[in-house]
Amino acid sequence: MAEQSKNVKEQDVNQLLKVRREKLAELQANGKDPFQIVKFDVTHHSQEIKDAFEELEGKSVTIAGRMMSKRIMGKASFCNVQDLQGNIQSYVARDSIGVESYQDFKKMDIGDIVGITGEVFKTKTGEISIHASAVTLLSKSLQVLPEKFHGLTNTDLRYRQRYVDLIMNPEVKDTFIKRSKIISSIRKYLDGQGFMEVETPMLVANAGGAAARPFETHFNALDEDFKLRISLELYLKRLIVGGMERVYEIGRVFRNEGLDTRHNPEFTLMELYQAYTDYKGMMDLTENLYRHVAQEVLGTTVITYNGVEMDLGKPFERITMVDAVKKYAGVDFNEIHTLEEARAAAKEHHVEFEERHQKGDILSLFFEEFAEEHLIQPTFVMDHPIEISPLTKKKPENPEYTERFEFFMNGWEMANAYSELNDPIDQRERFKAQEALLAQGDEEANTTDEDFLNALEIGMPPTGGIGFGIDRMVMLLTDSAAIRDVLCFPTMKSMGAAKNEANNAAQSAPVEKTVEKAIAEVKETYDFSNVEVEPLFKDMVDFDTFSKSDFRAVKVKECEAVPKSKKLLKFVLDDGSGVDRVILSGIHDYYEPEFLVGKTLLAITNLPPRKMMGIDSCGMIISATHLVEGREGLNVLILDDKIPAGAKLY
């Protein structure tokens, strides 16, 4: 019965699309092709009219926007037009616009772009409206707008088709308007402080300035490999060497890493550098900048994110990383003097570390494990260990630590700042240490940049520098749950062949059906001729032992990359018990978290908890592995969605 209803609905939608094209053909045949209109003079927007009603009442205005509703009532009708600022009602009467124009108006569809000229008035119910004297069809919508375009089931489609999301969800448009205002406010503040905005290369031979894996590409004209920048730092410092004392750049950077609620492979970073100051000067600048932006854009310095208030008006807390770990983990690294002692403390507190990690790395792991989540109010975490700060000046009184801080709010790192290292000899040694880490398999380690070293040898003044994550700042100031909510067009997994089919199908299917149908029609074939699988086990397992493994169907409620891990994904699962189950699985090389949310997987649920990166993993996600030319392939076992959470496998 449900399938029959679905087919009827599809037929109805297809008929609507056909009618819209027939209407367009009729308009074109009558010399009224809306697509031949090249200009329309708009005098006001909807909110301007409402705000200045007393001044505009009885005066003629012209608006343009998308028709979102229409009520035909014989010789007079109402429609609602949505523009950049909001929406406004228009009263359209046959006697006011003429018989022919009124007939044309009645044939217009929801979603059409229209221009309306008329007098401003207020209806008997008190609604500010426009009494139309002319209605012009400016663009014909050939698709059917969805009745509802939000909620979990449509999240993926919202991000892929942001243009529809903006039309249907006013709060989404408001977020991006605020984003623009935030960036404008940042520029205004920095310009007022004597900073100069500059631009530096995106294609670079050496991607340095941050701990991240770059994207690589090939430049045909020079027959040379290049990387997309992961940071703005090294070029901006070159400008400081050249005598440009205060510089900043707001631009895209690219990091070949995972996707989660706070990470996108391309994001907006702002870095600024100021000669003749240090990291304490950067703290003062950060505090003042955040207050200025919040006050100018939101009208307050008290912001609320996910129900939690954060006060930007109060002095920001300042704490060293050592003191933060002592406060929240109860471990005093002032009393830990050797690598062996640091490793012993890590084992005692179940902090996972790698063989290559030094004492300072382990301190950082303690901070991430125990302290970060508590830093809700604005906090500067100062004096990071030298092992994790390759571009930062050492503290003169304690060279194991550097003049560096990270700015935290809501438990998130919001900015990273240094007293910049300007000693070329020290910098070369730091690069050598990074090269050694690279050789040990750390794909995020920096490589030596000889031209940057040459610039330092020319001479760079004492300098303070900082990098701000603009997207996270926008998330906090707009109360947005995920980074994708503040990126107009976030990075999405390619739909492959479905993309072309979707484009072709767009001529005969509505927005949501186009994508769904295209995905359903993609057919893949697999060549297993060169696949190797592990030999079957010959040792027998008795039935009683095997039956004690509790295999269950689980629904993926949440999935995200584990910070500081290249392989681990953290799953929050519905296992049918009513209590969320957390399982970590090392499959990030094969799957992005977004793909797995909502899927039904297979897991063993009665294994004892196992610490992984300091998180209890309570079970095991089941995958199938194989080899192709010596490289491992992996496929998570994804079950039919009809199987309920908690269903037991026999």
Q: Are 362 and 353 in contact (CB under 8 A)?
A: yes
Half-sphere exposure of 362 (CA within 13 A, CB side): 27
How far apart CA 268 and CA 278 sit, in angstroms, is: 24
How far apart CA 253 and CA 251 sit, in angstroms, is: 7
Q: Are 417 and 286 in contact (CB under 8 A)?
A: yes
DSSP 602-642: EEE--SPPEEETTEEE-SEE-EEEEEETTEEEEEE-EEPTT
Output the six-digit token pair for 471: 């997207």
Residues 6+ apart with CB under 8 A from 329: 349, 366, 369, 370, 371
The answer to whether 341 is a known ligand-binding residue is no
Residue type (1 letter), 142: L
How far apart CA 348 and CA 639 sit, in angstroms, is: 39
Question: Could you give phi then psi for residue 442, rounded to 5 degrees?
Answer: -80, 100
How far apart CA 293 and CA 414 sit, in angstroms, is: 14
The answer to whether 317 is a known ligand-binding residue is no
Question: Could you give phi then psi for residue 68, rounded to 5 degrees?
Answer: -105, -15
Long-range contacts (CB closer than 8 Å, 24 or more residues apart) made by 443-449: 443/213, 443/566, 444/211, 444/212, 444/213, 445/211, 446/208, 446/209, 446/211, 446/390, 447/206, 447/208, 449/206, 449/208, 449/234
How far is residue 13 CA from its own chain's centroid?
33
How far apart CA 553 and CA 642 sit, in angstroms, is: 11
The terminus-to-terminus CA distance of the chain in angstroms comes to 32
Of all helices (H) and strands (E), which one includes residue 466?
Answer: strand 463-469
How far apart CA 56 and CA 63 sit, in angstroms, is: 13
The helix/strand/coil state of 192 is helix
Q: Could you tell me whether strands 600-604 and 246-254 are parallel, antiparallel, or unpaired per DSSP bridges?
A: unpaired
Residue type (1 letter), 231: S
SS3 string of 371-402? HHHHCCCCEEEECCEHHHCCCECEECCEEEEE
How far apart CA 241 and CA 235 sit, in angstroms, is: 10
Output the six-digit token pair for 249: 């750049």
- Binding-site members for Mg(2+) are 406, 413
Binding residues: 406, 413
